[in-house]
Structure 1
């Protein structure tokens, strides 16, 4: 087998996730692709970028068994450490869901559903023209929900992990405020 072709056992599987913000007056959701071997810590970064959050509040994931995952070093709460659990461990089959809560004061609840698992064939999933301008979110006072949605789609692949770890948007743009 050539070095250019990975064996079937080394094949990267992409998890298509539907992230839905609960409690909004309009439907706000994002579809993202993440490798199954990404950690929940990686997924937190993807959610922050996709939803336009600024990563300045505590967060937690809760699975179907009630296990809570988060950054145990920062929160001081009794979380399972998110960096030690992979997306593929908490979302095993299409239809599986976990909850993501961001900002424990305002409690922005997100439902994350595994839509499908597929091989990474290197294909672009969507696109047209060049990078379109991204509208900024218009927020109401604290605790209120966004008035409109930008409809962005983020594709996160293993080779982009360094960018995600540095909390930069793939285009280099800052998240909307």
Structure 2
């Protein structure tokens, strides 16, 4: 089975939070999203998007954005909206970038063509990840992703982005901090934990075993 070795980096994290994963090539972006979620330690609470620099398309699970694109691109298939119809340019921005659902696009063509692209999770906290193709494997023996290595705990959901995570860590790591106890209680409620490669690989094997009709 063909597969890709990819590196996932949480941009602007310091120290860098990263994972190195092998994923079967014949899967969709939905399955890649699932793999990133498990590998990093996110809980899949929010919208997400794959971005390819300077390209006129987005791969996202944002159903509202997809329906807007579908409606306006059909309505203005032959002619662009007039200034009266689109005085603020909103419709123009909607239809200029094709929206693709993640379950409708296989990763192989894109990952081999672009080799580097971004994955954004949670449009509020705006966690931007760099996805880099490191190697193509032709004889991969497993029907599920495997986490090879990584470093750094995943931030808690809804912590407030990179800046919020830094504030969180200041209180979490300092027993003398005035908010240490409340932050510890909240962090534990968010399942904040140290990176554990064996735990992650058990999840990947159990939850993401590759099936042709679930790629």
Taking structure 1 as the reference length, the TM-score comes to 0.66
Q: Give the counterpart of 2:60 among 50, 65, 70.
A: 70
Report the alpha carbon displacement of residue 161 of structure 1 after superposing the two structures with TM.
2.7
Matched, 1:41 2:42: no
Q: Secondary structure at the match of 1:26?
A: coil
Q: Give the counterpart of 2:209 among 149, 156, 160.
A: 160
Q: Secondary structure at the match of 1:161?
A: coil
Report the alpha carbon displacement of residue 149 of structure 1 after superposing the two structures with TM.
6.0
CA change 1:118–1:136 in 2 (3 A) is closer
Mapped to 2, the partners of 1:101 and 1:24 lie a distance apart of 14
Mapped to 2, the partners of 1:141 and 1:154 lie a distance apart of 25
CA change 1:88–1:136 in 2 (3 A) is closer
Match of 1:102 in 2: 121
How many residue pairs get aligned? The number is 141
CA change 1:91–1:115 in 2 (3 A) is same
Matched, 1:87 2:77: no
Report the alpha carbon displacement of residue 36 of structure 1 after superposing the two structures with TM.
1.1
CA change 1:149–1:27 in 2 (3 A) is farther
CA change 1:71–1:46 in 2 (3 A) is same
Q: Which runs of 5+ in 2 are unaligned?
A: 70-98, 170-192
Q: Secondary structure at the match of 2:125?
A: coil
Q: Which runs of 5+ in 1 are unaligned?
A: 1-11, 128-134, 166-177
Question: Is the CA contact (8 Å cut-off) linking 1:99 and 1:112 kept in structure 2?
Answer: yes
CA change 1:23–1:100 in 2 (3 A) is same
Cα displacement string for residues 47-88 of structure 1 (whole angstroms, at most 9, x for unaligned residues): 11011101000000012343210125x343442111121111
Residues 1-177 of structure 1 correspond to what in structure 2 (within 5 A)?
A: 12-66=1-55, 67-72=57-62, 74-77=63-66, 78=69, 79-92=99-112, 96-122=115-141, 137=154, 139=156, 141-143=159-161, 144-145=164-165, 150=195, 152=197, 154=201, 160-161=209-210
CA change 1:71–1:63 in 2 (3 A) is same
Mapped to 1, the partners of 2:128 and 2:147 lie a distance apart of 27
CA change 1:137–1:47 in 2 (3 A) is closer
Q: Secondary structure at the match of 1:54?
A: coil
**Higher-Rg member (1/2):** 2
